[in-house]
Structure 1
Amino acid sequence: MTASADRVPCTVVTGFLGAGKTTLIRNLIENASGRRIAIIVNEFGDVGIDGEILKSCGIENCPEENVLELANGCICCTVADDFVPTMTALLERDKRPDHIVIETSGLALPQPLVAAFNWPDIRTQVTVDGVVTVIDAAAVADGRFAADHDALDAQRAADDSLDHESPLEELFEDQIRAADMVVLNKADLIDAARLEAVRANVAGQVDRPLKVIHASHGELPVEVLLGLGAATEDQIGARKSHHELHHEDGHEHDHDDFDSFVVAAGMVADPDGFVAALKQVIADHDVLRLKGFCAVPGKPMRLVVQAVGQRIETYFDRPWGAGEQPSTRLVVIGLHGMDRAAIEAAVRAATAEAVIAAE
């Protein structure tokens, strides 16, 4: 079966932690030209930061009820329990969406998710319009897929008991192998020569033609992202991940290499000072990704914090809701075994230092 007009097209947006998937999707729905779009967001950890950001868009054709969250798990591992029921409920609505967009966890393998579109109840109603893999071009140009990638590789090289590749490198390659299109995001942060080197790196990961385009701040025309008509569910069997190639015995994929937790802290009186302190926390503890919301005294809006390595972005996205208690909550993601207690203490100390600096 190939793509047909009576099946709802679905775009799977994947990519490593902090590549800019949520920003790309937000830009997409803000420029959807009247299409009714439903979003399924899957996050690693139990606080839905990305879903909350998308819900704050306030766009008529993508109301809050069209942003569905699957947190504290990975839909590539829990297809039957989470993904299929969510898709079924979405398709049974009186008004079906014109297009579905799934944002995978930054630690997800796209292959099992795309394969799930071959389930009988799903295949007759939905087709995968395309898998779009978003890459942090600046991070790849620097030779790493996250902060301190070189240090992590050195640790593994020093341990004779470890003969596998870095889990970061495997994810990077797997997410490219599954793609119909690769978006080299954050292209504005590097020059043309380095961008071309990244393009060559990406193209060399697969032995088939692959569309590779670049973007800044996740800004691309809707017509570029939607309407690929790839019917990727028919092809995903030939795009095997490292895990599938090395575990044909049916062993389940897991994320034991990574941990996440939430840090609750006080008000952030000096956002600039807080950001400077967070950079030190990230450097000291090899944090891969940090994101969340902060409460700033005297500000009615919540402050979004997005950190990838030493690059930290902050902006106010919307007012705190009537039933919301302004607070600071940050999700921390890193390699398994990171010192949670030390990181929590450092983040809370950073908020306290920010208060002192503001005074």
Structure 2
Amino acid sequence: DRPSPPEHIVIETSGLALPKPLLKAFGWPSVRTRMTVDGVITVVDAPAVADGRFADDPEAVARQREADDSRDHDNPIEEVYEDQLDCADLVVLNKTDLLNEAELAAIEAGLATRSRRVRLIRAREGRVDPAVILGLSAAAEDDLAARPSHHDGADEHEHDDFTSFVLPLREQESVEAFIARLEHVARAHDVLRMKGYARIAGKSLRLGVQAVGARIRHAFEQGEASPGQLVVIGLHGLDPVAVQRSFDEA
């Protein structure tokens, strides 16, 4: 309704979001007549794929089934990963500077086996020219049938597979000790994501952290002089009390 409305609106979803429910919202009459989905962009964490974070080991699963064929072997992370790929109009393979050419080629070969073939570009630190990702003219809301999902026909708002909570953080004695604690927690509890900030003794700036598994990036940043906090995301059943205890004991 603005005199000069924006040409594009970029919607960044959660890394664990299912894309099709959002696309379906653009089919609502009040939205459809005024907006279209120019394209769905999926950003892939290349090192996480190389580490096998998004896929089970098929041989290990087969052995588990032989031992107990009643066990549920669904991998919710793998399903979300595949849903996001199969809904995409463009895939950005990110953090490519952390892998060698052979590793990147293997990932790209795996992505090429998806039923939905889309363009793929490489990126470092998420740097992509906006001209590359805007103006795809995909009209994705009209193309839902060509975007398969593990959750088609189901309640697509099930985020019961995952859980998240916020941990309060006391002042930390040093950057090194804090990062070591985060790595310990990530490995001990198979944490998917952590993000937040902490106060470090003797430092005027707060320390911001972003973690994918046990891979952690950190940098000092401006911020209010409030207590630190950490958002922790993991599979359903991740125990906040156990995570807090593990962090305090590390």
TM-score of the aligned structures, taking structure 1 as reference length = 0.63
Q: How far 1:144 sits from its partner (Å)? A: 2.4
Letter paired with 1:197: A
2:185 is aligned to 281
2:5 pairs with 1:132: no
Name which of 134, 144, 155 aligns with 2:53.
144
1:262 is aligned to 166
Matched pairs, number: 246
2:231 is aligned to 331
Name which of 96, 103, 110 aligns with 1:194.
103
Distance in 1 (CA, whole Å) between partners of 2:226 and 2:6 is 33
Deviates more, 1:105-114 or 1:338-347: 338-347
Letter paired with 1:214: R
1:299 is aligned to 203
Q: How far 1:202 sits from its partner (Å)? A: 1.1
Q: How far 1:95 sits from its partner (Å)? A: 5.1
Distance in 1 (CA, whole Å) between partners of 2:35 and 2:248 is 45
Q: Verify the 8 A CA contact 2:163 2:235 in the aligned structure 1.
A: yes
2:243 pairs with 1:343: yes
2:134 pairs with 1:226: yes
Q: CA distance change for structure 1 residues 156 and 172 in 2, over 3 Å: closer, same or farther?
A: farther
Q: Which runs of 5+ in 2 are unaligned?
A: none
Deviations 1:58-101 (A, max 9, x none): xxxxxxxxxxxxxxxxxxxxxxxxxxxxxxxxxx4565333211
Letter paired with 1:346: S
Q: Verify the 8 A CA contact 2:191 2:232 in the aligned structure 1.
A: yes
Q: How far 1:334 sits from its partner (Å)? A: 1.1
Deviates more, 1:340-349 or 1:272-281: 340-349
Q: Verify the 8 A CA contact 1:130 1:180 in the aligned structure 2.
A: yes
Q: How far 1:162 sits from its partner (Å)? A: 3.6
Q: How far 1:108 sits from its partner (Å)? A: 1.1
2:181 pairs with 1:272: no
Runs of 4+ in 1 over 6 A off after TM superposition: none
**SS class of match (1:197):** helix
Letter paired with 1:299: K
Q: Verify the 8 A CA contact 1:137 1:195 in the aligned structure 2.
A: yes
Distance in 1 (CA, whole Å) between partners of 2:240 and 2:64 is 21
1:13 is aligned to none
1:308 is aligned to 212
Q: How far 1:169 sits from its partner (Å)? A: 1.1
Q: Which runs of 5+ in 1 are unaligned?
A: 1-91, 351-359
Q: Verify the 8 A CA contact 1:177 1:240 in the aligned structure 2.
A: yes
TM-score of the aligned structures, taking structure 2 as reference length = 0.89
Letter paired with 2:129: P
Distance in 2 (CA, whole Å) between partners of 1:264 and 1:270 is 17
Q: Verify the 8 A CA contact 1:300 1:320 in the aligned structure 2.
A: no
Q: Verify the 8 A CA contact 2:39 2:139 in the aligned structure 1.
A: yes
Q: How far 1:222 sits from its partner (Å)? A: 1.4
2:80 pairs with 1:171: yes
Distance in 2 (CA, whole Å) between partners of 1:309 and 1:279 is 8
**SS class of match (2:151):** helix
Deviations 1:291-350 (A, max 9, x none): 111122343333211111121100123x224xxx42210011111112321111222445
2:113 is aligned to 204
Q: How far 1:189 sits from its partner (Å)? A: 1.0
Q: Verify the 8 A CA contact 2:163 2:233 in the aligned structure 1.
A: yes
Distance in 2 (CA, whole Å) between partners of 1:229 and 1:102 is 16
Letter paired with 2:173: A
For residues 76-115 of structure 1, what are the structure 2 equivalents within 5 Å?
92-93=1-2, 96-115=5-24
2:228 pairs with 1:320: no
CA RMSD of aligned residues (A): 2.2
**SS class of match (1:254):** coil
Distance in 1 (CA, whole Å) between partners of 2:241 and 2:41 is 37
Overall identity of the aligned pairs, in %: 51
Q: Verify the 8 A CA contact 1:136 1:184 in the aligned structure 2.
A: yes
